[in-house]
Amino acid sequence: MPEMPEVQGLVEYLDGRLRGLEITKVQVVAIAALKTFDPPVQALQGLTVRGTTRHGKFLDVTAGDIHLVFHLAKAGWLRWYDTLPTTVLKPGRTPIALRVALSDGSGFDLTEAGTKKSLAVSVVRDPTDVPGIARLGPDPLDPGFGRDAFAALLAGRRTQIKGVLRDQSIIAGVGNAYSDEILHAAKMSPYALAASLEEADVDRLYAAMIETLTDAVATASGKPPADLKDAKRRGMRVHGRRGESCPVCGDEVRSVFFADNSLEYCPTCQTGGKLLADRRLSRLLK
C-alpha cells in the first residue's frame, strides 16, 4: 500500500508532467472504483491541469475548478506512459480501473491487483467533498504540527500506539509499513498504550516519526512511479523483513499476523526481548 512518502513522490512526478496539459479523455474501466457522479467524469475533458497535490494518502489532480481525487488503497498503483497505449480496455479483463489521456499524447492508468477492490476515484468540486479527506487528521510533516500538538493527540488515548499512528483521523498519511518503521526507530512496542507514554517517550516517538517520514519522502522525490515501490522496500528496516536480522542489534525480526496484514518488530530493540503473541488484542508474552 502506498503511504505518504510514496504518494508525495507520485504528486511531485505528476505535477511536473501534468501541469499545463489538457485532459483529453477519462475512461472509467472499473465502474466500482468511481465513488461520485456529480460532476460527471466527462466534465474533466477539455480542462487544463493546474496542479497535483496530496491530502494524507489521497492524490488530487486539479483541472479547471474540478478535482480528480483518488486513493490507491492496498493494491492500487499508478502507471505512467509517455505515449499512452491505444489498446481497447475491456472491463473485467484488465487490472486497469481508470485511464487518463493528455493533450501531448501521454497519460496514466490507475491499476489494482487482486480480487479485493478498494481503489477509490472521486470527481468533486472541493476535495473535502470526499469523506475520507474531510475526516483526515493533521499531516505529520506540516510545519505547524509540532511536538506539543502530537502529544495532545496522544493524551488520554487508551489505544495501542500502532493503531494510533495508522488512524487517518488522528494523523494523516502513515500506514502499516511506516508505523512499523517509526516504532522501531523509537524503540517502542507497537502494543504500548498512547496514554501511558512518558514525556521522554513522546519526544522519542515524535522525533522518530519526523525523521523516518522526512527521509522516506526524500528517497521518493524525483523517482518515476515504476521505481517507487522498490525504493520503499529497500528503505524498510523491519517492515516486510520477517526472519531477517535487525540492522540495529542483529536480533531476528518477528511478525504478528492479523486478518489482512501483519506488523513487524524487533524484540530486542522494542519489547525488552519479549515476543508479542500473535493475536490482535494480545499482550506481551510473559
Domain region containing 255? 147-270
The residue-averaged pLDDT of 111-126 equals 93
Is the per-residue pLDDT at 283 higher than 50? Answer: no
Residues 159 and 123 in one domain: no
Residues 94 and 155 in one domain: no
The model's pLDDT over 31-81, given as tens digits with 9 standing for 90+, comes to 999 999 999 999 999 999 999 999 999 999 999 999 999 999 999 999 999
Residues 185 and 224 in one domain: yes
Q: How far apart are CA 108 and CA 93, in angstroms?
A: 18
Residues 11 and 85 in one domain: yes
Residues 43 and 80 in one domain: yes
Q: Could you tell me if residue 194 is left (phi over 0), alpha (psi between -120 and 50 degrees) or otherwise beta? A: alpha
Residues 205 and 258 in one domain: yes
Q: Are 183 and 160 in contact (CB under 8 A)?
A: no
CATH number, domain containing residue 25: 3.20.190.10
Q: Are 80 and 17 in contact (CB under 8 A)?
A: yes
Residues 167 and 234 in one domain: yes
Q: Are 15 and 51 in contact (CB under 8 A)?
A: yes
Residue 275 counted as domain residue: no
| Predicted local confidence at residue 93, as pLDDT | 86
List, in sequence order, the alpha helices (H) in 19-169.
131-134, 147-154, 161-166
Is the per-residue pLDDT at 286 higher than 70? Answer: no
CATH number, domain containing residue 257: 1.10.8.50
Residues 11 and 34 in one domain: yes
The model's pLDDT over 207-223, given as tens digits with 9 standing for 90+, comes to 999 999 999 999 999 99
Residue 281 counted as domain residue: no
Residues 193 and 79 in one domain: no
Total number of domains in the chain: 2
